[in-house]
Amino acid sequence: MRDAQSIESGPGLDVLELIHESIFVRDLDGRIRYWNSACTALYGWPAEQALGQLAHELLGSAHPDGLAALEEQVTATGRWDGELCRVTASGQPVLIDARWSVHKNPRGQALGIVEIGRDISARKAIEQSLADSEYRYRNLFQAMAASFWELDFTPVGGMVRQLFAAGVTDLAAHFAEHPQLVREMMRRTQVMDVNEQTVRLFGRDNKAELLQSVEPFWPEASSEVFAQSIVAAVSRQQHYAKETRLRTIEGREFDALFTASFPPENMKKGILMVGVIDLSERNHAFAALERMQAELMHAARVSMLGELTASIAHEINQPLAAIVTNGAAGLRWLNRPMPNTEEVRTLAERMVADARRAADIIARIRDMARHQAPQQAPQLLNNVVKEAVQFLRHELQAQGVEVRLKLTANLPRVQADRTLLQQVIVNLLVNAMQAMADSPQRLIMVSSRAGTDGRVELRVQDSGPGIAEDHLPRLFESFFTTKASGMGMGLPICRTIVEGLGGTIEARNDEGAGACFIVSLG
């Protein structure tokens, strides 16, 4: 007890009151002999209640190794450091970072143990949540269907800083001028970690061989994308994504969506997160679909030409018949004793004009029948409309259909493939013509006008029976037809073509008139 007394009143202990750390002293029996106000603040026990109590009992001290082991250590070595779980007066658990040291009198006899403690519960909670999020992130990193890479970006950061120091202001332009610099940056970017998807996509069952520089995975032609991602990182964007081509360890190139994210906390550590999604299958599927659509559109054009064969033959026959007639007349003029060369010249001129007419018709049909990759170019919609009407002129005449054009001049050009746009208009005209087969009055109004947002609108209205209300929603479905020999592919193909141009097509019934198809193009 006397020793304990000397602890309590020992010189220097009063200054401990000024310290924010909680400090208490327990004697060799474990009873609290000194208790500063920071202890009261932390544990909730006032000094008068704490003094004389068994410290570990009062504070509910607990440690995974057991308290006896800690006491043993402090007795043997004079010190112990570590974390203790305790409970405050109000029952609140706290985590204490504690330092114990044996307090001795000048003769070297142990008097008790001084504990300096700090409440680290809050810090622990943050560490735990960080550990949790790190765990979640690791899980995600491994489990994602995409390929993920963790790259050490530090050397590139240094290179960029050097460039800025050397006076480079436009990084993108500098990279474009010095492609070898970009390759060097790739060489210095190290792969720190990759997930299983990456091993599957880029490697050959060997993760270790991927943990090297990123350079081999970037074909020369994709260097610009890597350069752009550096510019994005440096200009403090959050992320960067671009479709490009990447290369496997075995040298096979494939289409990929490359994404890089630059969360500030990773950037500080020089870590770059990269995700890669394999697009090759999607792109193959798309290419096959486009080829298929092109085939389908071509097949539809050819079948439409098939339907029009009779009228096409008739149309070509007219100039040919005229050529024969004029040729025969010319021969008669020449066979006279005094050949009339003036008459023959006039007839020859007509023959040339008719031959041209026949050639034009054949050229138009050849264009429609030709199978070629769509070529987009700015088109004057009004001209395409006139060509489509011209194409059907004979058939329309034969069916007794009148076509009225109401075309607005000076409309903006539309970006489209000419043949495909013609196919849409011809399709709508043929449908209108067929719909009016039993109508007493057969009139088609084709009008063009400016739509909203610089778009151009085309309307094809007929005086037929219109479309049954319950058919309206199904009109553009493949194989929907109400005709005995119909295929039900005309309108779906129109829609594919129009939507492929970024436009829309819709059908409605016009008050007092027949059907109306509205095409809007950008």
- Contacting residues toward ligand ADP, per CB under 6 A: 431-432, 435, 462, 464, 467, 471, 475, 480-483, 486-491, 514-515
Judge residue 128's burial from the number of C-beta atoms within 10 Å of its C-beta, 0-12 exposed, 13-18 middle, 19 or more buried: exposed
CB of 521 to ligand ADP, least distance (A): 19
DSSP string, 296-315: HHHHHHHHHHHHTHHHHHHH
The C-alpha angle with vertex 433 and arms to 432 and 434, in degrees rounded to 5, equals 95
- CA-to-CA dists, residue 292 to 265, 360, 493, angstroms: 48, 30, 12
Minimum CB–partner distance for residue 422 and ligand ADP (Å):
16
Q: How far apart are CA 260 and CA 189, in angstroms?
A: 14
Nearer to ligand ADP, 189 or 461 (CB): 461
- Decide: 317 and 361 in contact? Cβ < 8 Å: no
Least distance (Å) between residue 445 CB and ligand ADP: 12
- Shortest distance in whole angstroms from residue 520 CB to ligand ADP: 18
3-state helix, strand, coil in the chain (%, to 5): 50, 25, 25
Task: Measure the CA–CA gap between 425 and 419, rounded to whole angstroms.
Answer: 10
Residue 360 near residue 387 (C-beta atoms within 8 A): no
CB of 198 to ligand ADP, least distance (A): 47
- Closest by CA to 481, choosing from 450, 439, 435, is 435
The nearer residue to ligand ADP, 96 or 428, going by C-beta atoms, is 428
Which CB atom, from 330 or from 492, has the smaller least distance to ligand ADP? 492
Q: Give the residue nearest to ligand ADP (CB).
A: 490
- Name the pairing type of β-strands 443-450 and 456-462: antiparallel
CB of 413 to ligand ADP, least distance (A): 27
Residue 293 CB, nearest approach to ligand ADP (Å): 15
Nearest approach, Cβ of residue 460 and ligand ADP (Å):
8
- Give residue 237's Cα distance to chain centre: 16
Planar angle of CA 368, 373, 374, nearest 5 degrees: 75
Specify the residue, 381 or 435, whose C-beta has the smaller distance to ligand ADP.
435
Q: Which is nearer to ligand ADP, 323 or 515 (CB)?
A: 515
Min CB(493)–ligand ADP separation in Å:
8
Rank residues 53 and 481 by Cβ distance to ligand ADP and give the closer one.
481
Q: Which CB atom, from 275 or from 464, has the smaller least distance to ligand ADP?
A: 464
Please tell me the distance from the alpha carbon of residue 79 to that of residue 54, in angstroms, as a whole number.
Answer: 20
Nearer to ligand ADP, 102 or 513 (CB): 513
Nearer to ligand ADP, 189 or 448 (CB): 448
Q: How many CB atoms lie within 10 A of CB 1?
A: 9
Contact 188, 270 (CB under 8 A): no
